[in-house]
Amino acid sequence: MREPERVLGWVDDGQYRLRQAVDALPEGSVTEPSALPGWTRGHLLTHLARNADALVNLLTWAGTGIRTPMYTSPDQRVTDIEAGAGRPLAEQRADLRESAARFRKAAEALSADAWAATVVSGQGREIPASEVPWLRAREVWIHLVDLHVGVGKDALPPDFAWALVRDVAGWMSARVETGTGTEIAAEGYDTVVLGTPAAGVTVTGPPYALAAWLTGRGGTQELRELRVTGELPGLPRWL
């Protein structure tokens, strides 16, 4: 189980950076492309707001014991994003702030026992409620970069980026071919094993560059910062 308070600190920091970036956007910029294919900034901002509310549902479930899934139907997530993507920037800003406040309030209301309660993620996994802040931190920081508002991958806090490396590598380990994995290392952190690595295959670099590579967001600059011994493995698409 993760430590909710520590991870909520990452959420708060990410929300603050996100709010700064969105407040600086000019009118009309919500219709411009984000880094995600087929999504404008408006799609991404709406997704971030509705994700906060969906995770509030999980925190409510943990606090009350009443089953409250993230979404009421398989189509709700996509429908909500499409419905909200074209809203004016001022409405998007307010929605982002208010949904973040609802998430923080729901998290602050949970007892120690409630954090240990089991809920079900959007991917259908049973998880302890203590994992919910991590799901939010991940969304906020990654999509802050995806917004294309001048915030680069190097803005990811090192400890958060390394936690993301461990998370993504763990998910990928069962999805890479045997013998095509690698050992991943960053100065000041432990080593993460991806799959069943071939002898001598290693990737080292700053945590943010490793996280960008694993999540499919590594550009030329990030890849240049990685030191590779052996041949980089092919990676499955993450989420």
User: Does 234 or 146 have the greater pLDDT score?
Assistant: 146
**pLDDT above 80 (res 220):** no
Amino acid, res. 101 = A
d(CA 176, CA 113): 37
Distance CA 195, CA 179 (A): 8
Predicted structure pTM score? 0.94
User: What is the pLDDT at residue 198?
Assistant: 66
The Cα 98–Cα 87 span in angstroms is 15
The mean pLDDT value for 62-80 works out to 94
110 contacts: CB under 8 Å, gap ≥ 6: 4, 59, 62, 63, 129
Place of tokens 């959007």: 122
In the prediction, which pLDDT does 40 show?
97
- What is the per-residue pLDDT for 195? 86
Q: What share of the chain is helix, strand, coil (3-state, %, to 5)?
A: 55, 10, 35
Supply angle C-alpha 169, 146, 86, rounded to 5: 135
Choice between 174 and 14, residue whose per-residue pLDDT is larger:
14
- In tens, the pLDDT along 182-192 reads 899 999 999 99
pLDDT for residue 1 is more than 50: no
Query: Between 222 and 133, where is the model more confident?
Result: 133
pLDDT on residue 199? 67
Tell me the pLDDT tens digit for each residue of 98-124. Answer: 999 999 999 999 999 999 999 999 989
Q: How far is CA 28 from CA 33, 40, 81, 88, 92, in A?
A: 11, 11, 18, 8, 11
- Rounded-to-integer distance, Cα 66 and Cα 165, Å: 33
